[in-house]
Chains A and B, each alone.
Chain A
Amino acid sequence: MFTVKELVRPQTLAEAYRTLTEHPDNALLGGCAFLRLGNRKIAAAVDLSRIGLDYIRETEGFIEVGAMATFRALENHPACRENFSGMLPRAVGNVLGVQFRNLVTVGASVFSKYGFSDLITALLALDTDVELHAGGRMPLAVFLDKPYTRDILTRIYIRKDGRAAAYQSLRNSASDFPVVNAAVARLGDRWTVAVGARPAGARLAPAAAAALDGGADPGEAAALAAGELAFGGNLKASAEYRRAMAAVLVKRAVLEVSKCASK
């Protein structure tokens, strides 16, 4: 369990950022689900729940998700259910139980770049931007490649471009971490393929996507995706197994997307 000397409840982002960066032992609180598994000694814990980041709204052309929105909110929000063939609710719906998803936050999940993340893989197949308080707005893929800096993820923007999409994951049991996962999307005849839990973080598979743009069949594209990305082994699975299963998941996701009408 982590310890906290002082709980700070800023009313503005500027205040939260100031407290966060004042001392290396200060930390932001999301849903605390991950924090509680560690032993961090936090001097000032910055509670982000009074800044108004707990929202999901549709703005012109985007679904805007505040950092403190929970996985469960993402799962239930009409905009998330209706866009992208309902892929976002399906991706986060695998994460433990309802009581857990009512807690864990989108901001902490994306900022932490967890290798096993279901959410990041799904978002990577869409046109997603992240916004950092100090670092500004950038595409998710750019953010994932950046080295860690202390910052606050304030919101993400998902472009409502009418993509058809599908999410696939392999788990040893329903609520376990994914062994490997994949997300595929199509807008017109342009495809996007992302693979995560490799066990490293999600990455795009551009060669597979380009092949699909050119009319390649699902199996061919899946083999390309499995071939162009790096896979590693850990307690859950070997690199070879992950690579083989990634191909299966990508193929299934491509087949699923092929059957969806993209607007």
Chain B
Amino acid sequence: MRIEVTINGHKTALEVAPDEILADTLRAAGFASVRRGCDTTNCGLCTVWVDGRPTLSCAILAARMDGRDITTIEGVAGEAEAFARLLVAEGAEQCGFCSPGFIMTVLAMKRELADPTDDEIIHYLTGNLCRCTGYMGQLRAVKKFLEVRP
């Protein structure tokens, strides 16, 4: 079936199967930043924004995205890079496989939470797994990015 979606600000028409998963659709359309790290909706690697809200693209049917607005990390490249530099500076990026999903969640959090506490930050980021780091470096980078007390 044919759907019309806006991806990173561009209106696009896509032909999708009724049970096609959005993560697969996006990857096939060239958005290679979208990753799948689990098969259980547990890891957060596939996070994109749907109408501005961080959502697991591994659990959404592409067909239901007709008329919706999707943002991948390619659509917020500048801001993502600024945060990625902070991540690297804190030694919180190892293999980088989790980074796009993680960064999309952090950028969404910045828009959603005003002056969050450590607990609020950790609560917001709980759905994002990282196999390599110990999360502490990530937390330092996030706090620098949010310009909250270190």
What residues of chain A have their CB less than 8 Å away from a CB belonging to chain B? Answer: 1-7, 29, 31-33, 36-37, 42, 45, 47, 49, 72, 93, 96-100, 102-103, 174-175
Contact = CB atoms under 8 A, between A and B. Distances in A.
B68 to A, nearest CB: 10
Contacts of A31: 59
A8 to B, nearest CB: 9
A36 B21 CA distance: 10
B123 interface: yes
B63 A96 contact: no
Nearest to B63: A7
A31 B18 CA distance: 15
B25 interface: no
Given A29-B61, A49-B64, A93-B123, 5 more contacts: A7-B63, A45-B18, A97-B44, A102-B54, A175-B127
A13 B40 CA distance: 30
Interface in B38-57: 40-42, 44, 47, 50, 53-56
B60 interface: yes
A96 B54 contact: no
A100 B41 contact: yes
Given A7-B1, A37-B40, A47-B64, A96 B55 contact: no
B interface residue count range (under 10 / 10 to 19 / 20 to 34 / 35 or more): 20 to 34
A108 to B, nearest CB: 12
B99 interface: no
Contact of A98 (B41, B50, B64, B127): B127
A7 B18 contact: yes
B18 A175 contact: no
A42 B18 CA distance: 11
Contacts of A32: 59-61
A2 B19 contact: yes
Given A7-B61, A102-B54, A96 B18 contact: no
A250 to B, nearest CB: 24
A27 to B, nearest CB: 12
Nearest to B122: A174
Interface string B87-108: 0000000000000000001001
A100 B56 contact: yes
A99 B56 contact: yes
B84 to A, nearest CB: 19
B30 to A, nearest CB: 22
A47 B124 CA distance: 28
18 contacts: A1-B21, A4-B18, A4-B61, A5-B18, A6-B18, A7-B1, A7-B63, A7-B64, A33-B41, A37-B40, A93-B123, A96-B41, A97-B127, A98-B124, A98-B126, A100-B56, A100-B59, A103-B56
